A and B are shown apart, each in its own frame.
Chain A
Amino acid sequence: MADDPNSDVNGNGRRDVAVPMELYKSITVFSTLLAVVFVLLAFVMFDAATLGRSFVRGVVRDAFGVVGLSVGGQPLTIAFALVGFAFLVTGSGIYILGSRFRATEMGNAKHEAGEE
């Protein structure tokens, strides 16, 4: 990877991929959007895990009831908490992954310090 002039590991040991400006805009907009949505969903799940009268919790409990299953409160809480953490990690991951891309025009601190 280091032989590709446009993608390399820079001084901080962070991978850095140069992409066209148009693609960079899509990455910024959609990765931020997805990250926000996932973090919000994570908090909805945490609510469902900890709040007895949570809407999501009620819906899931009823859905199990419809198919004739009754799920105890404890397993439901654990499941919601785990899903919540998964969403949180996913959201952070999307955001972090988005931060390694930069537009070719932007330059980076190490190589093109004199730019601007």
Chain B
Amino acid sequence: MSLERKDDHDHKGWMKERDLTPVESVYLTVLMWLDKRLRIVDYLEILEDLYYKVNMQMPKSHTEQYNLDNKFWYWYPLYALGSFSTIAYVVASVSGALLGFYYSPAAAGASGSPTVAYEQITFIMTDLNLGFFLRSLHRWSAQVMVAAVFLHMLRVYFTGAYKEPRELNWIIGIVLISLTMVFGYTGYLLPWDQLAFWAGQIGVEMALSVPVAGEWAAQLVFGGFTLTHATLQRMYILHVFFLPFIATTVIAIHIGIVWMQGIAEPH
């Protein structure tokens, strides 16, 4: 449709032959004057046309075709959990990048004083403008992401969305939920307070409990069998350098595959 005016309706002549009250004539004249100049109606008609054309190309979904919407509608909100996880990830990335300007991963404090890492957390929470807000945002978005990713996995499982041809994306999703949890764990250790330290201790001991590869894994991930500055340094670089690149790439692939394959019909 073009914006070329169609054959002009003779409004004036039409109005004369009608029996309109003076108020109505003025009203219509004003609106027609505006219409001739602003032409909003024409643009709205283009949008309307576009809307119908777009919808005509959409095949009927499985639920529409077999009239299952009345049985299945309560699942639909849960189809938002993947987007919800992504939004939480973006929020965590932005707030984390900002926190990175103030945090410092040093476990060494002067004798008898708290570590630099812990002091920086205290600084962010008590002295920094909006620091409390920033750290809370980072923490909450991280928690929300873990929860949303888990619920997203349940939704995919119970609607059968993992089935052929989407097995590959299901496997990638399992990698992603693992990456999310490693993200959570490494971030959990960064404040280097009592909670973090003993969570780290548990991690080292879990690694050491693994036969054959345990000691090697503990060395690799924690930088030794006891928690030292090396542990904090590794957690930090995993959290702010390794995982962001890996997770962002895998998320992009995961979403790209969903984009190519389309949303799965419920099974």
Seen from chain A, the residues whose Cβ lies within 8 Å of a Cβ on chain B are 1, 4, 6-7, 17, 19-20, 22-23, 25-27, 29-31, 33, 94, 97-98, 100
Contact = CB atoms under 8 A, between A and B. Distances in A.
B16 interface: no
Contact of A26 (B14, B19, B20, B32): B32
Contacts, number: 47
Interface of B: 9, 11, 14, 18-21, 23-24, 27-28, 31-32, 34-35, 38, 40-41, 44-45
Given A4-B19, A7-B18, A17-B24, A23 B32 contact: yes
Interface SS, A side:
helix
A35 to B, nearest CB: 12
B28 A29 contact: no
A31 B31 contact: yes
Given A7-B19, A27-B31, A100-B24, 18 more contacts: A17-B18, A22-B9, A22-B41, A23-B9, A23-B11, A23-B32, A25-B41, A25-B44, A27-B28, A29-B41, A30-B31, A30-B35, A30-B38, A30-B40, A31-B31, A33-B40, A97-B24, A98-B27
Nearest to B40: A29
Contacts of A1: 19, 21
